[in-house]
């Protein structure tokens, strides 16, 4: 089992775990969704959380980023050794936590450029970031991700195709320079080419930031053909019921979630 991090221990300057979730219970509108979820993610590792629809994957992603629609009733979230359970979303983003959404919202009137400029300013703790600086980063990263940089003049996600939305999430991940990225079904709704582009984008960002930890949330095995995980967790009914290596994903593909459900029962 994972060793708990002693937050107050002065000897630990680099926590072994980037993210540590202990016995997390979460509800929305009074309905319990997560029921004692525990998992941890180390620096530089790719963890995959796999669960069927309705198992609580997006609830976890939202809770990690501090969406107020989800209430933590028990348990803790430690990020880089700090208990962030009570922090708001901007405070979490500023500390280097990034969430790529399953369904990115359309924000008419706000261009990709302006959105990124504001987000990067919060992350860097600067009140105003020069447009030039943001443009330079954007030119570099749209090139590395194989995107057309005129894209950044458009309103955020407005009229974007499914693939463009997900690529835009990867672009945000690159520019925000997070320590941990939580990617909620970045692979859903993508055709095989878009899937490859998104997976390559994740590789590109990891090359740039080898210390980046990733928690990739999915209910398909297929993105794992492009991205080899270090650790796989199986989520059922709001709890991690099994954790293992890449073989666990293969076992899941062969046997389905019901096999795990039977084991747990
Ligand atoms: P997944 O992403 O694994 O498909 P979700 O976390 O979206 O699962 O949802 C898990 C369960 O929690 C579902 O039954 C869903 O209806 C419920 N749920 C999610 N968000 C809310 C909410 N804001 N209010 C009430 N119920 C919710
Ligand atoms: Mg979901």
Q: Which atom of ligand 1 has the smallest separation from the CA of 185?
A: 2
Say which range, 30-44, 46-60, 175-189, has the weakest mean pLDDT. 175-189
Architecture label for domain 5-264: 3-Layer(aba) Sandwich (3.40)
Length of the chain: 265
Full-model pTM: 0.90
Residue 55 CB–ligand 1 contact under 6 Å: yes
Cβ of 58 closer than 6 Å to ligand 1, yes or no, is yes
219 pocket-lining for ligand 1 (C-beta < 6 Å): no
Mean per-residue pLDDT over the chain, rounded: 89
pLDDT above 70 (res 97): yes
Q: For 35-39, 234-238, 259-263, which range has the lowest pLDDT when averaged over its residues?
A: 259-263
Percent above pLDDT 70 for the chain: 94
* Closest atom of ligand 1 to CA, residue 61: 6
Residue 22 pLDDT exceeds 70: yes
Nearest ligand 1 atom to alpha carbon 184: 2
Spatial distance between the Cα atoms of 240 and 55, rounded to a whole number of angstroms: 10
Q: What confidence score (pLDDT) does residue 237 get?
A: 96
Q: Which residues surround ligand 2, an ion (CB under 5 A)?
A: 57-58, 102
pLDDT of residue 152: 86
């Amino acid at each position: 089992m994972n060793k708990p991090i002693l937050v107050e221990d002065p000897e630990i300057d680099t926590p072994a775990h980037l993210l540590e979730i202990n016995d997390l219970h979460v509800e929305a509108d009074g309905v319990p969704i997560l029921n004692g979820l525990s998992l941890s993610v180390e620096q530089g590792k790719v963890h995959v959380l796999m669960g069927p629809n309705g198992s609580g994957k997006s609830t976890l992603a939202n809770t990690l980023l501090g969406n107020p629609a989800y209430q933590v009733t028990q348990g803790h979230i430690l990020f880089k050794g700090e208990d962030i359970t009570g922090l708001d979303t901007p405070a979490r983003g500023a500390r280097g936590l990034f969430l790529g959404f399953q369904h990115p919202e359309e924000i008419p009137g706000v261009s990709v450029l302006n959105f990124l400029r504001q987000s990067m300013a919060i992350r860097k703790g600067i009140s105003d970031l020069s447009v030039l600086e943001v443009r330079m980063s954007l030119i570099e990263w749209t090139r590395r991700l194989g995107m057309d940089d005129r894209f950044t003049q458009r309103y955020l996600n407005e009229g974007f195709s499914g693939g463009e939305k997900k690529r835009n999430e990867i672009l945000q991940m690159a520019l925000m320079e997070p320590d941990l990225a939580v990617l909620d079904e970045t692979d859903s709704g993508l055709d095989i080419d878009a899937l490859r582009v998104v997976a390559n984008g994740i590789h590109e960002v990891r090359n740039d930031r080898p210390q980046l930890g990733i928690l990739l949330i999915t209910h398909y095995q297929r993105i794992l053909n492009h991205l080899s995980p270090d650790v796989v967790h199986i989520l059922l009914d709001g709890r991690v019921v099994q954790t293992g290596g890449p073989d666990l994903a293969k076992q899941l593909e062969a046997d389905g979630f019901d096999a795990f459900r039977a084991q747990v029962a």
